[in-house]
Amino acid sequence: MTEETIFSKIVRREIPAEILYQDDLVTSFRDIRPKAPSHILIVTNIPIPTVNDITADHEAGLGRLFTVAAKIARQEGIAEKGYRLIVNCNHHGGQEVFHLHMHLLGGKPLGPLVT
Ligand code: AMP
């Protein structure tokens, strides 16, 4: 069984977060430790631990992550200048919370992706 993370509690609104968007498949809220002027997380409502756990059944929710990322980027006023979407997987990927999520980062030039 998938272990619950803090993100499930945010999805169920049991702990506070600045929620920007929620529907039947995904929830979006501001990252608590922002790495850019706009740093927003978009999570699947169901707790998929990592990208390695994705199955075809998850495709609607995963597609919705992108639809919502584009919508929020427009809302934040960063769509035209651009932004970065990141999904970390496991320890080498820098994943800390094992509930699949997309980072939306923007509001300044982010430079090249470095390791
Ligand atoms: P990752 O390293 O990809 O697993 O990213 C996890 C992100 O979740 C980090 O950027 C954290 O700052 C963020 N985070 C952890 N706890 C919270 C929280 N309660 N509310 C908002 N963001 C959080």
In angstroms, what is the span from residue 31 Cα to ligand 1's centroid? 6
Do residues 61 and 79 touch, judged by C-beta distance below 8 A? Answer: no
Tell me if 12 is assigned to some domain. Answer: yes
Tell me if 17 is assigned to some domain. Answer: yes
For residue 10, is pLDDT > 80?
Answer: yes
Please report, for the domain that includes residue 54, its CATH number: 3.30.428.10
User: Which atom of ligand 1 lies nearest, measured to the CA of 101?
Assistant: 3
What is the tens place of the pLDDT at every residue in 73-107? 999 999 999 999 999 999 999 999 999 999 999 99
Q: Is 92 a catalytic residue?
A: no
Tell me if 90 is assigned to some domain. Answer: yes
- At 53, which amino acid appears? D
- Give the residue numbers spanning the domain of 47: 6-106
Give the pLDDT of residue 114.
Answer: 76
Tell me if 92 is assigned to some domain. Answer: yes
Active-site residue (options: 58, 92, 99, 101): 101
Tell me if 113 is assigned to some domain. Answer: no
Give the pLDDT of residue 52.
Answer: 98
Antiparallel, parallel or unpaired: β 38-44 and 83-86: unpaired
Identify the band that residue 1 occupies on the pLDDT scale cut at 50, 70 and 90.
low
Tell me if 111 is assigned to some domain. Answer: no
Tell me if 89 is assigned to some domain. Answer: yes
For residue 60, is pLDDT > 90?
Answer: yes
Average pLDDT of the chain is: 96
Tell me if 37 is assigned to some domain. Answer: yes
In angstroms, what is the span from residue 81 Cα to ligand 1's centroid? 25
Q: Total domain count for the chain?
A: 1
- Provide the 3-class DSSP secondary structure of residue 32: coil
